[in-house]
Amino acid sequence: MIGGGITGTGIARDAAMRGLRTALVEQRDLAFGTSSRSSRLVHGGIRYLEQGHLGLVLEAVRERETLLRIAPHLVHPLDFLFPVHRGDRIPLWKLAAGVGLYSLFARFRNVGRHRVLSKRGVLEAEPMLRERGLTGAVRYTDAQCDDARLVVATARAAAQHGARIANHMRVVSLHRREGRIAGAVVEDLIEGRQGVVEATVVVNATGPWCDQLRRLEDPTVPPLLRPTRGVHVMVARDRIGLRHAVAFLSPVDGRVMFVLPWGELAYIGTTDTDDGGTPDQVRADGDDLVYLLRSANARFPNAHLTEEDVRVTWAGLRPLLGGKGGAAASSVSREHAIVTGPAGMVTVAGGKLTTYRSMAAEVVDEVVRRLRRRAPRAPTDTEPLPGGETADFESFRRRGAELGLPVAVADHLVRHYGTEAAGIYNLGVANRALFERLHPAHPALEAEVLHAVRRELAQTVEDVLVRRIHLYFETRDRGLRAAQRTAELLGRELGWTEDRVRIEAERYRSFVASEPRTI
C-alpha cells in the first residue's frame, strides 16, 4: 500500500481485518496531503444533488451514519443554516425540496430534522447574516470531523490488526519481477536508508500524487486526475458572530460555500479551481483570499473581514477524476475509479473523505480477486476506531476533573482521543510534570507529545503540532512557543542528541516562517 491519507489507511485497515499481510508506506506524514486540508466535513453533499450525483449522495449519507457510530469522538453532528437571498440562483422552495430529498436518502434517519425558517427566524438564529434581501433559510444537520486525526485513528486501527505502517518513507521506484510490479524501493527520509518492500499486489492510493506514481509503472499513461485546489481561511469566530455552520451561495460565482465553527475560530471555504502544479507546492494565493473574504463579507456584511483577520490558511488538491479540460472545476465528479496498470499495480483515484471506507472495501475486493483468496468483507462499519468504543465520554471528563485538570483541557482530550484520554491521564499520573500545558494559549498537554510518538507514529515537531494536536491552526503564533518543548519531549522518546533537538525545533520554526499564513 502506497499512500497514508484517508483512502490508503482505510484500505490498510480493511485488508488487515480480512487477514491479509499488509504494509503501508507514506512519503511524508499520515494525512500530510489532501486528507488534512479538507473542509473537515462528513456529509452527503447537498450540492451533489443539484449536479445529479444521486448515487454518490446516497452512499455518502450512509457512510456519514457509519462514521458517527465508529468514531464518535472525531465525527460530530453539526447544525447548518442555509440562508437564501433574493437573486440567489436557488430559490428557497427548491432548496427546501432538495434538503427534503437529502433526508429521504438518509431514510429519515438523518442526524437531525430539517426545517424551513422565516426571515425573522433566520436572524434570531444568526443575527449577523445580511438582512437585506433575505427570504428565509433551511436548517439541517450534517457532520464535522477532525480530518487528520481520523486518518491517524484509521492507521492505528490497521496496525492493531497487524498492518505495518511507516511514514516518512518515500517510494523511489517500483520493484519488478518478471515484468510485474512486485513491491517498491523505498527510502527512509528520517534515517536516509533504502530498502525493498516486496508485495504480491501493490496499491496506489496516493491521492493527487497518483498519476506521478502511475508514470513510474508506465511513463506513457494518460492522466486519470483533474486536480482542483481547495483553499480555506481561518478567522476569529467572534468577527462573524457565528452560532451555527452556515452554507451559502457565493455572490461571486454562485457556488456553494461554508463558514464553519472550530472552537473559538471559524473557517471559510472553499475554492474549487483547476491547479496544474505539483501537490507538494499547492498554496493559497491572493485571488483565493479575495474570493473567500469577499464571499463571506457579502453574507456577513458587518464582519468587514480583511486579509489582516486571517489567522492561517490551508490549501489542498482534490484528486478528482477527469483528466484535462471539460466542465467547470466545481462540477467535476467526486466519484472514484479503480484501475489496474499494465504491470499490475492497482490504483484508486477520485472519491471524497466521507466515502473512504466503502471505497477501501471495493479496492480490497479487487486485491482479494487478484490473490485468488477467500476473504469475506470486514466489519469496518461496526468495529470502532481507537477511542470510539463508546459515545458517552462523561466519565472521562469527570476523571480529568478528579485529576485537577481544567474543564477546557478535559474537553480537548476527549474530543481528540475519546476513550484513549485515559491513556493521557495515566501518563500524567505517572509524571505530574506532563500535565503542564504545551502552549499557554492552548489546552494541549505535554503528555500528548509522548502519546503522539508512542502510539500515533509522530516523528517530527511538525507531525505533532500540525496534524496531531493542531497548535499550528489554533494559536496565534502557529505553535512556535511549543516548538522547543515539543522537540525536547520527542528527543527523549526517540533518543535524539541535544544538537538534534535544537535542529528539529529550528526546522519547525523555519517551516512556519516559510509558510506565511498558509499550509
Establish if 376 belongs to a structural domain.
Answer: no
CA 457, CA 453: separation in Å to the nearest integer?
Answer: 5
Q: Are residues 113 and 160 in the same domain?
A: no
**Per-residue model confidence as pLDDT tens digits over 240-277:** 999 999 999 999 999 999 999 999 999 999 998 888 78
517 has a pLDDT exceeding 80: no
Q: What is the DSSP string of 295-328?
A: HHHHHSTTT---GGG--EEEEEEE--B--SSSS-
The number of residues in the chain equals 519
Average pLDDT, the chain: 93
CA 46, CA 50: separation in Å to the nearest integer?
Answer: 7
Q: Are residues 366 and 406 in the same domain?
A: no
- Band of pLDDT at residue 110, cut at 50, 70 and 90: low
pLDDT at residue 334 in the model: 55
Q: Amino acid letter at 283?
A: R
Establish if 377 belongs to a structural domain.
Answer: no
Nearest to 259 by CA among 177, 144, 151: 144
Establish if 207 belongs to a structural domain.
Answer: yes
Establish if 273 belongs to a structural domain.
Answer: yes
Q: Are residues 139 and 176 in the same domain?
A: no
408 has a pLDDT exceeding 70: yes
Between the alpha carbon of residue 5 and those of residues 11, 248, 279, 443, 491, the distances in Å are: 10, 29, 13, 27, 26
Average pLDDT over every residue of 422-439: 98
- Residue 5 is classified by DSSP as S
CATH of the domain at 465: 1.10.8.870
Establish if 23 belongs to a structural domain.
Answer: yes
Q: 356-362: long-range contacts at Cβ-Cβ below 8 A with a sequence spacing of 24 or more? A: 356/6, 356/7, 356/10, 356/63, 356/154, 357/10, 357/14, 357/63, 357/66, 357/67, 357/381, 358/59, 358/62, 358/63, 359/7, 359/10, 360/7, 360/10, 360/11, 360/13, 360/14, 361/14, 362/338
Between the alpha carbon of residue 428 and those of residues 53, 271, 423, 461, the distances in Å are: 49, 42, 9, 21
CA 144, CA 26: separation in Å to the nearest integer?
Answer: 25
- Band of pLDDT at residue 278, cut at 50, 70 and 90: confident
CA 336, CA 59: separation in Å to the nearest integer?
Answer: 12
Alpha helices in 71-203 (DSSP H): 92-105, 119-125, 147-160
- Band of pLDDT at residue 335, cut at 50, 70 and 90: confident
- Band of pLDDT at residue 358, cut at 50, 70 and 90: very high
Q: Are residues 461 and 504 in the same domain?
A: yes
**Residue 117, φ and ψ in degrees, nearest 5:** -110, 145
Between the alpha carbon of residue 407 and those of residues 77, 387, 399, 411, the distances in Å are: 21, 19, 11, 6
Note down the domain range covering 120.
75-144+226-321
Cell 425573522, residue located: 120
Q: Are residues 290 and 401 in the same domain?
A: no
**Per-residue model confidence as pLDDT tens digits over 156-204:** 999 999 999 999 999 999 999 999 999 999 999 999 999 999 999 999 9
**Per-residue model confidence as pLDDT tens digits over 113-145:** 789 999 999 999 999 999 999 999 999 999 999
Establish if 389 belongs to a structural domain.
Answer: no
Please check whether residue 37 is in contact with residue 315, taking contact to mean a CB–CB distance below 8 angstroms. yes
326 has a pLDDT exceeding 70: no
CATH of the domain at 24: 3.50.50.60
- Higher pLDDT residue, 327 or 356? 356
Task: Give the global pTM.
Answer: 0.95
CA 438, CA 436: separation in Å to the nearest integer?
Answer: 6
Please check whether residue 494 is in contact with residue 455, taking contact to mean a CB–CB distance below 8 angstroms. no
**Per-residue model confidence as pLDDT tens digits over 293-307:** 999 999 999 999 999
Nearest to 6 by CA among 258, 211, 208: 208
Nearest to 14 by CA among 140, 206, 158: 158
CATH of the domain at 268: 3.30.9.10
User: Where do the DSSP E strands lie in 295-418?
Assistant: 312-318, 336-340, 346-350
Q: Are residues 129 and 249 in the same domain?
A: yes
Q: Are residues 81 and 137 in the same domain?
A: yes
Q: Are residues 306 and 183 in the same domain?
A: no
pLDDT at residue 57 in the model: 81
- Band of pLDDT at residue 328, cut at 50, 70 and 90: very low
Instruction: Mean pLDDT check: name the lowest of 96-105, 126-135, 288-297, 496-505.
Output: 96-105
CA 249, CA 257: separation in Å to the nearest integer?
Answer: 6
pLDDT at residue 51 in the model: 67
108 has a pLDDT exceeding 50: no
Q: Are residues 503 and 401 in the same domain?
A: yes
Establish if 379 belongs to a structural domain.
Answer: no
Please check whether residue 123 is in contact with residue 108, taking contact to mean a CB–CB distance below 8 angstroms. no
pLDDT at residue 58 in the model: 84
- Residue 464 is classified by DSSP as I
- Residue 515 is classified by DSSP as S
CA 338, CA 36: separation in Å to the nearest integer?
Answer: 23
Q: Are residues 239 and 91 in the same domain?
A: yes
CA 348, CA 224: separation in Å to the nearest integer?
Answer: 10
Cell 460555500, residue located: 257
**Per-residue model confidence as pLDDT tens digits over 449-496:** 999 999 999 999 999 999 999 999 999 999 999 999 999 999 999 999
Of 282, 302, 321, the residue at which a domain comes to its end is 321
pLDDT at residue 515 in the model: 80
pLDDT at residue 295 in the model: 97
Task: Name the domain count of the chain.
Answer: 3
Distance of CA 350 to the CA centre of its chain: 15
Cell 451561495, residue located: 249
Sign (positive/negative) of CA torsion 72, 73, 74, 80? positive
332 has a pLDDT exceeding 70: no
**Per-residue model confidence as pLDDT tens digits over 7-56:** 999 999 999 999 999 999 999 999 999 999 999 999 877 767 666 667 77
Q: Are residues 236 and 339 in the same domain?
A: no
Say which residues have a Cβ less than 8 Å from residue 271's Cβ, sequence separation at least 6. Answer: 229, 230, 231, 288, 291, 292
CA 153, CA 455: separation in Å to the nearest integer?
Answer: 10
